[in-house]
Structure 1
Amino acid sequence: MKIENLQDLHVLVETARGGSLTAAARALELTPAATSATLKRLETQLGVRLFERSTRAMRLTDAGQTLLDYASRAMDLLQEGEAQATSDARALRGVIRLAAPPDLTRQVLIPWLNEFQAENPGLQMNLSVAESMQDLVRDKVDLALRMGSLQDSSLVARKLFSTQRVLCAAPAYLRVHGSPETPQDLARHNCLSINVAGRRLTEWRLHKQTGESATVKVQGDRWSNDASLNQQWALAGVGVMFKAQINLQQQLNSGALVRLLPAWAGEEYPIHAVFHSSRFVPTRVRSLVDFLALKFDGTHGELSHNATI
């Protein structure tokens, strides 16, 4: 094997994460000179350049990115192997670094994750919640849950669920303004829209299972870039919302929100579990994905029931 010291790979990983040898030295409690010497030794042993260096930053080469992907997963597996070898081999141990969208986390995932950890007390959960897509390597993420189409073909994904955007409003709003009977009626309602990348989305596209479709230009007196804020407004009775049904299920079940035009829905939003690779996934991460898949599968009946209300 060309790599003589596996600890050298830690320098590669921390340099990539921190963007500099200084950051790597700080993370590993070494001197910058020591980290620089280690990286040069690693490049010499492999006969390839791992980073392109500049006065401002260090950028991974293609060879460096390939080695980084494997090194990160290999170190995770070694840590898991050490934990399994020194404890009950059936018990799940270690840290799961999970990234997920805010609404899905707050409305759906929290009780499921609590249940999973209660069943596996040796686990720790590092949960990162953000609207933007996170870089799994740079942000030290083991597993990401993503809604919508996937753009990065280099990642491995497992589809867990598919949901749709649905129309809803609070009973208080409907008592004052009535319920729309057709998609075109939405043009006369106060609709809560979303800003995406600075652009207000005011065209709502709906379709029926029969294939019939409609696009409605909506308007309203408030909008935001935070879907959870729109949900609070809808619950307060100020307007009509168009949002992924999975994130509304608790309020639909309780009657705090009412499904409108149940024969109509928006485009489907798949929910994927995304990994670095299908080969190097720690057992604790695979177990969580299997657990979530069962939980999502159990929600199909609830969503189908609400679709007929």
Structure 2
Amino acid sequence: MDQLRRMAIFAEVVAAGSLSGAARQLSMTPSAVSQHLRQLEQTLGLALLHRSTRRLSLTEAGERYHAGCAAMVAAARSAEQALARLRDEPEGELRLAAPMGFGGLLAHALAPLRRYPKLRLQLLLDDTVIDLIDARVDIALRVGALADSTLVARKLGSLARQLCASPAYLAERGWPAQPQDLLQHDWLGGKPGSTGAEMLELHNPAGERETLRLEGRVQASQVTALHALCVAGWGISVVVSEDDRRALTDGRLLPVLPGWKLDDLPVYAVTPRRGEQPAKVRHALDLLALFFGRANGAQATHTAQVA
């Protein structure tokens, strides 16, 4: 065991670049560090360091020996970190940004976090993209293609989408039979802009694909507004929020063109930092991955929408 300790001291001396620097890191005196190095060299029968009044440098033997010593120290630290991760519980404030349609979904996905009394959850629900650094966000959920960024993204799963309308609207305007029929209907868009147009791509089990350019009668940037408009009979929309799912279940919304599907939307967890994450972030990411993995396997039973 003494030999292992001396190997660790040697690695620290090389890392610090001096005996005094290593002594400060190890809470030892420089003379004690020097004594351990002499004992290590005597045991090995080789000089590991060239000593001068200005600096230390490795001998050829020291260079070869240092690689193993540094790897040993790194392995020991990694083992300590693994135990710390196992020991540490989520605490503090977890700030999570997501589209507005994710409110009910997150309540289910993150329910196991309730068991940690020291953890506070702050949900920032907004359909606009939030700056993670400025808003001090730990995790942001984003749907669809990601823009190039320095942020760290982890794919969690995907969400199914469905064309829907209210029974009242369909009774008044009729049911579309083919994708092209959508051009004759009122479209509720989720991307307000100067043109008011939105591209919609559909496919069926036979492999046919249709791409439509739809002019929105109404444009809304928030999913809550789109849901209310669709239920009130304003037109046809792509519904994928938790409220929409409930409306489909109770008949307030009906599926349109059920034989034609939209591509699923990928869901990502985006974090502003790389490397080791605090326990609160690790636990939340694991729960979200588990939830979206199950949802994707079950044809996205729980869904959410972004503009």
Report TM bin, short chain: 0.5 to 0.7
| Match of residue 124 from structure 1 | 120
- The amino acid that maps onto 1:191 is W
Q: Does 1:240 align with 2:226?
A: no
Give distance in 2, aligned partners of 1:91 and 1:304.
30
Mapping 1:94-113, distance limit 5 Å? 94-105=92-103, 107-113=104-110
Task: Mark the runs of 5 or more structure 1 residues left unpaired by the alignment.
Answer: 2-80
Give distance in 1, aligned partners of 2:106 and 2:220.
23
Question: How far is 1:274 from its partner?
Answer: 1.0
How many residues are paired up? Answer: 221
| Match of residue 141 from structure 2 | 145
| Match of residue 268 from structure 1 | 264
TM-score by length of structure 2 reads 0.62
| Match of residue 289 from structure 1 | 285
Asked if the contact 1:192/1:222 (under 8 Å) is kept, the reply is yes
Pick one of 91, 100, 116 that aligns with 1:93. 91
Give distance in 2, aligned partners of 1:138 and 1:146.
17
Give secondary structure in 2 for the equivalent of 1:222: strand
Question: How far is 1:200 from its partner?
Answer: 1.4
**Could you tell me the percent identity over the aligned residues?**
33
Structure 1 residues 55-106: Cα deviation after superposition (integer angstroms, max 9, x where no partner): xxxxxxxxxxxxxxxxxxxxxxxxxx9xx99xx946422111111111223x
Range moving further from structure 2, 198-207 or 93-102 = 198-207
Question: How far is 1:168 from its partner?
Answer: 0.6
Give secondary structure in 2 for the equivalent of 1:299: helix
Give distance in 2, aligned partners of 1:256 and 1:275.
37
Question: How far is 1:187 from its partner?
Answer: 1.8
Task: Mark the runs of 5 or more structure 2 residues left unpaired by the alignment.
Answer: 1-15, 17-80, 303-307
Asked if the contact 1:189/1:219 (under 8 Å) is kept, the reply is no
- The amino acid that maps onto 1:257 is L
TM-score by length of structure 1 reads 0.62
Question: How far is 1:233 from its partner?
Answer: 0.8
Asked if the contact 1:193/1:224 (under 8 Å) is kept, the reply is yes
- The amino acid that maps onto 2:101 is D
| Match of residue 155 from structure 2 | 159
For the structure 1 residues 103 and 218, does the alpha-carbon distance in structure 2 shift closer, same or farther, using more than 3 Å as the test?
same
| Match of residue 27 from structure 2 | none
Structure 1 residues 102-159: Cα deviation after superposition (integer angstroms, max 9, x where no partner): 1223x5223434x234232321012222223222222211111111111234222111
Mapping 1:295-306, distance limit 5 Å? 295-300=291-296, 302-303=298-299
Considering only CA atoms, is the larger Rg found in Structure 1 or Structure 2? Answer: 2
Structure 1 residues 168-208: Cα deviation after superposition (integer angstroms, max 9, x where no partner): 11222223333211111112222212334444134422223
Give secondary structure in 1 for the equivalent of 2:128: coil
Asked if the contact 1:103/1:228 (under 8 Å) is kept, the reply is yes
Give distance in 1, aligned partners of 2:131 and 2:187.
34
| Match of residue 167 from structure 2 | 171
For the structure 1 residues 191 and 100, does the alpha-carbon distance in structure 2 shift closer, same or farther, using more than 3 Å as the test?
same
Pick one of 207, 216, 219 that aligns with 2:212. 216
Structure 1 residues 213-247: Cα deviation after superposition (integer angstroms, max 9, x where no partner): 11234346433233321211111122111244677
Give distance in 2, aligned partners of 1:108 and 1:140.
22
- Alpha-carbon RMSD across the aligned residues, in angstroms, is 3.0
Give secondary structure in 2 for the equivalent of 1:218: strand
Give distance in 2, aligned partners of 1:266 and 1:193.
15
Give secondary structure in 2 for the equivalent of 1:186: helix
Asked if the contact 1:246/1:303 (under 8 Å) is kept, the reply is no
